[in-house]
Structure 1
Amino acid sequence: MRMNHLSGLAGAVALTAIVAAAGPSWAQQQAPMLDALVESGELPPVEERLPANPLVVEPVESIGTYGGTWRSALRGGLDNAWIARTVAYDGLVRYNREWDEIIPNLAESWEVSEDSRTYTFKLREGLKWNNGTPFTSADIAFAVELMSEPSYGAGTFIKNPNNPVTVEVIDETTFSFVFENPNGLIMDDLASVNGFTVVSLNKEYCSQFYPKYNPDAEANAQAAGFQTWELHMQDRCSWATETIRWANPDLPMMNPWMIEEPLTGDATRTTFVRNPYYWKVDTEGNQLPYIDRLSMRVSDSLEEITLMALNGEIDFQDRHIATVANQPLFFDGQEAGDYRLGANVPSTSNTLVLQFNMNHVDEKRRELFQNKDFRIGVSHLLDRQEIIDVVFTGQGEPFQVAPRPESPFYDEEFAKQYTEFDPDAAAAAFEAAGLVKSGDVYTFADGTPLQITIDLIASFRSEWVDMMELMQLQLEAGGLDIELNNIDRTLYYDKRPLGDYDAQIWQGDGGLDVVQEPRYYFPANGESVWAFRWQAWYNGANPEIAEEPAEWARNQMDLYTQLRAEGDPEVRSDLMKQILEISKENFPVIGVSLPGNGYYIAKNNMRNIAEPMLHAYLFPTPGPYDPFQWYFAAE
């Protein structure tokens, strides 16, 4: 089944994962580290550990060799995203390496009803958790049942109040998701990093903490020091990619590596070891993964992690350390550190998104920030080329928050509108917005001073401080009084429902994953900071603050509701183009520049790594490039 939402990217990465339709007829091979366990009887033979139809994966370059430890690092004990990207990308389905097709994974096939309400999946026969117990439809049903509990977890699509889902178990390997309303985007959700959710909870193990299956669950929770069974369950069976999930080695997994040294609160290292029941093989019948172990240093110090990479003590990593500032260091250190730099093509549309709060609790600010002319004026005051030259050493180009050039949704006019540095055009736009120049600064029409505070989290992106300091100077030179407010991430999020903030910044999601991440194109979700109360109205969240959106935004919401219910990819694409056209016309947020290519660091003897890689969160790089088929070549 093809999902053509990103078909324009097919040429960006000329790689294809080949999935066999039938089981291999050859004799399977296993990693030498498992030989002794099989000989002693602690493990069954490899052919008994694999499913009847293992997923056959073609290596990027060549058949690999077994062994070795992949070294990387986490930035502190809460850095769960790197584990999700490297260990956990194994859902029912997955994206291919080009990000233009959804392909089988734990499910070997699926069928979709004509009304896009019922999705029936066929699991591979004989799948096993890493402890050797069967992985069946009952585990899927249990995960949905548990995550449907109001007091437990989140659960992505499972807890969508606008489209409830139930699971119908047909047999051990066949089940259906049945939605109350049509759901045209569920396959993309399941193929993304979010797809790990429904395959992450082993019923046999986790049901012991659930009162529905164990009457003693509440008492056991209190005896273990937890106030409720939900807290005990979360500690033992945390869903999806939460950090706490990696603290329990007893929790069964379906991933290529399983927990060896857990990620506890005081851990300085966490490690993963190969899963002897992993259900993928290469084209010669060798059970994957090739690499025996993953070792992740846990450090709060970016300087330490950067130095590890320079010293050749990291085998593959991009997260945190592959910054613009570090690039010259890493480039010059390649020979000494025995590593190479490979290209990442980012999915982000922009290096920074400036979002003025259109739902401000102050009426005058709300009216100003909703005025398109005001936003146009701000955009014309930004000397984007200066920012690109100073902060990004000339990499990138002036760009609004719009689909990237590699996207089939790319619209050059949309991407380039209002990007000219033009103080005269800015002055005309501010006048049209009702601002009055008093001396060197603008005020409200009634003479009230106008100072605009922009919130940022300096620690999240090191380049944001440099960018915002330049933007502050540029905007003040044009007559706007700007204050920068560096705040904690928790407070950053807490301010949103209160509505008492002028503007916040973030990175430009949605450059390639346009349909799946539309936060800046219309008020789609809680990350649509520019219209937080409009998105609350749309999503039925925070009813106490929800406000009916402007007509143009309501039109976008209606179109996206149609899109979500549409089973035809071409119709979905047409609906998304209409949403983007409305966004182009109303210009809700302001961008700075199109990011240049990023990079990753890989040791020279680490093979089967693709270049370039498309890089996103929903397409959780490097996961879709199959780290289980990476290997260390002999020196």
Structure 2
Amino acid sequence: MSRLPILGLAAAGLLLLIICSSPSGATDTVDVLTIADSTGDWGFPSPYAHYSRGPGYVRMSLIFDTLVWKDENGFVPALAESWEYLADEKAYLFHLRSGVTWNDGEPFTAKDVAFTYQYIKDHPYQWVDSSVVENAEATDDRTVKITLQRDYAPFLDQVAGTLPIMPEHIYQDVSDPASFKDPKALTGTGPFKLVNYDKTQGTYLYEAYDGYYQGAPRVKQIKFVKVNSEMAAAALKKGDVDAASVPGETVEDVKKEGFTVVEGSHDWVAKIMINHMKAPFSDPKFRQALYYAIDRQDLVDTGLRGFGLAGSPGLYASDNPWYNPDQEQYNYDPARAGQLLEELGYEKKEGSKYYTKISKPEAIELLVTASTERQGELIKKQLDDAGISVNLRSVDSKTLDSMVGGWQFDLALSGHGGLGGDPAILNKVVLDQQSFNSARYDEDSKLNDLLESQVEEMDPAKRKELVDSAQEVIAQDLPALPLYYTDSYWASNNIVSYYYTYGGVGSGVPIALNKMIFV
């Protein structure tokens, strides 16, 4: 039986830059830590009921632990103190910590882990591809063997380091976990317990679980409060909050006030989601015309005031180690956009500035939210200048996600993180048929094969070749239009030393709120 050592993530993780000096790491107890969040409500923080975006996962992760976790350098033990891969069996052995308890006082055992991994086969979990797991069994109270359906290179990152372990004694009789919002649903092994959740106000209050197996957290309470992003820096200066994500234009001023600022890498992408299930968006040439008509650098310079990086067609930012420079770039060229439209049979009728196939211009609807209206206006003008008529429709973010998920849209200005983690993210945001973050695009058999092959390739060099090829096909097909990657800054008053997690929290959430910061 061959046993392979477990390696850290490939060099695709987040790069941490300390903008100004911070303390070496305080150890004093913190009674209450208040964190600003511009978005507010992210749902009931149980594994299945939280809203399926990064902030929702982060709130849930404070209560529930995984088998392994990540800090600023890579993988670290969590519920499992060690693990090994049995290559001949396509199985992982996880050796669990002793003395771990659920926050209701019940002992944690290997049976809980086996139960969780079997449970997601019947109740698919939004962050994990449960199809890769063939079986999970507890070989004794502290050992779990998880057998895979196939080789799966990102298992530690995308499954073992993402899936929250749930208590069998609570969830064994739960048939609809998304609707299970009893207080017992929040029985976890993590460092915190939920004290209060106000959906209307978008506030959360957590308290430390002093029985936590890695020691009682030094932060005794964590409070999330809703603060408009433009007001975040002011709230810090007034002392209303202890930490916040701040706009790039405020960073220098915040530093001068003595706050610590950390910067993340370009792992959150804004993109135009496309309803490729209907004409004319079903034609790759039409999607290419749209992309040529959009000046991505202007969106960064004007819309983001320079605090970002122009989007790359193959999804990865140009400063990401997984980026393939040999892909079609679609530099801004409205004339080329017009040429492609004419090849598709479009023409400008006499007296009209817009391309059309019928007697009057066909207006495309672009969904935006209050936070993206500025960018939407810029995109509308750029497309208008290229002869493509667009109407903006502003909705709230959850409505936008719902409309995209239900294919009730033409175009939608959206975005997601995860690009700093494992390249399995490409499968999630291109092929996955369930997520509103995914293009749900499986119409190119070559791309399907490349993406499925890359997650099964255990050789890093060969895997990079597959990911490179996949980016070239994504750039050709354009199932979505990557626009830009935002610069991200996290400012704090030095009570706690924050960092951006290597590869992102869980499966790649690019938020500087790793729970181990508070322990």
Provide TM-score, normalisation by structure 1.
Answer: 0.68
Alignment length, in residue pairs?
Answer: 497
Specify the structure having the higher radius of gyration (Cα).
1
CA distance in 2, matches of 1:72, 1:132: 29
1:406 to 319, 329, 353: 319
The residue that corresponds to 2:158 in the other structure is 189
What SS does structure 2 have at the residue aligned with 1:471? helix
Structure with more relative contact order (C-alpha pairs < 8 Å, separation 6 or more)? 2
Give the C-alpha shift of residue 291 in structure 1.
Answer: 2.0
The residue that corresponds to 2:27 in the other structure is 64
Quick check: which one's helix share is greater?
1
Give the C-alpha shift of residue 170 in structure 1.
Answer: 0.5
The residue that corresponds to 1:477 in the other structure is 385
Conserved 8 A contact 1:609-1:625: no
How well do the aligned residues superpose, as a CA RMSD in angstroms?
3.7
CA offsets, 1:402-432, max 9 Å, x none? 3123322222343x71123x33333223222
The amino acid of 1:65's aligned partner reads: D
The amino acid of 2:42's aligned partner reads: L
The amino acid of 1:189's aligned partner reads: Q
1:235 to 168, 181, 185: 181
- Is the counterpart of residue 178 in structure 1 residue 141 in structure 2? no
Structure 1, unaligned runs of 5 or more:
16-58, 211-228, 237-247, 281-286, 536-548, 630-635
The residue that corresponds to 2:517 in the other structure is 627
CA offsets, 1:33-79, max 9 Å, x none? xxxxxxxxxxxxxxxxxxxxxxxxxx993462234321124544435
Query: CA separation of 1:155/1:123 partners in 2, compared to 1, >3 Å: closer, same or farther?
Result: farther
CA distance in 2, matches of 1:520, 1:251: 27
The amino acid of 1:477's aligned partner reads: D
The residue that corresponds to 2:115 in the other structure is 142
The residue that corresponds to 1:452 in the other structure is 364
- Is the counterpart of residue 95 in structure 1 residue 70 in structure 2? yes
The residue that corresponds to 1:85 in the other structure is 58
The amino acid of 1:179's aligned partner reads: L
Aligned pairs (5 A) from 1:220-259: 230=176, 234-236=180-182, 248=183, 251-259=186-194
What SS does structure 2 have at the residue aligned with 1:128? coil
The residue that corresponds to 1:342 in the other structure is 262
CA distance in 2, matches of 1:354, 1:575: 25
Conserved 8 A contact 2:276-2:282: yes
CA distance in 1, matches of 2:127, 2:438: 23
CA distance in 1, matches of 2:303, 2:408: 30
CA distance in 1, matches of 2:490, 2:439: 35
2:213 to 260, 268, 279: 279
The amino acid of 2:181's aligned partner reads: D
Give the C-alpha shift of residue 433 in structure 1.
Answer: 2.9
Q: Percent identity?
A: 17
Query: CA separation of 1:471/1:514 partners in 2, compared to 1, >3 Å: closer, same or farther?
Result: farther
Query: CA separation of 1:304/1:130 partners in 2, compared to 1, >3 Å: closer, same or farther?
Result: same
What SS does structure 1 have at the residue aligned with 2:98? coil
Conserved 8 A contact 2:367-2:394: yes
Conserved 8 A contact 2:63-2:187: no
What SS does structure 1 have at the residue aligned with 2:188? coil
Conserved 8 A contact 2:271-2:484: no
Query: CA separation of 1:4/1:231 partners in 2, compared to 1, >3 Å: closer, same or farther?
Result: closer
CA distance in 1, matches of 2:396, 2:365: 15
CA offsets, 1:101-139, max 9 Å, x none? 433221112222325632221101222223443211111
Query: CA separation of 1:359/1:4 partners in 2, compared to 1, >3 Å: closer, same or farther?
Result: farther
CA distance in 1, matches of 2:480, 2:127: 26
Give the C-alpha shift of residue 82 in structure 1.
Answer: 4.1
- Is the counterpart of residue 606 in structure 1 residue 495 in structure 2? yes
CA distance in 1, matches of 2:365, 2:179: 42
Query: CA separation of 1:116/1:424 partners in 2, compared to 1, >3 Å: closer, same or farther?
Result: farther
What SS does structure 1 have at the residue aligned with 2:101? coil
Aligned pairs (5 A) from 1:86-165: 87-88=62-63, 90-98=65-73, 101-115=74-88, 117-149=90-122, 154=125, 156-157=127-128, 159-160=130-131, 163=132, 165=134
2:273 to 347, 355, 358: 355
The residue that corresponds to 1:202 in the other structure is 167
CA distance in 2, matches of 1:375, 1:331: 39
Runs of 4+ with deviation above 6 angstroms: 300-306, 611-614
CA offsets, 1:590-622, max 9 Å, x none? 233343x2111201x424334798766733433
CA distance in 2, matches of 1:77, 1:373: 39
The amino acid of 1:347's aligned partner reads: D
Structure 2, unaligned runs of 5 or more:
46-53
1:515 to 415, 423, 427: 423
CA distance in 1, matches of 2:506, 2:499: 17
The residue that corresponds to 2:48 in the other structure is none
- Is the counterpart of residue 293 in structure 1 residue 221 in structure 2? yes
Give the C-alpha shift of residue 92 in structure 1.
Answer: 0.3
CA distance in 2, matches of 1:159, 1:9: 24
CA distance in 1, matches of 2:88, 2:202: 51
CA distance in 2, matches of 1:232, 1:624: 24
Conserved 8 A contact 1:112-1:119: yes
CA distance in 1, matches of 2:89, 2:465: 18
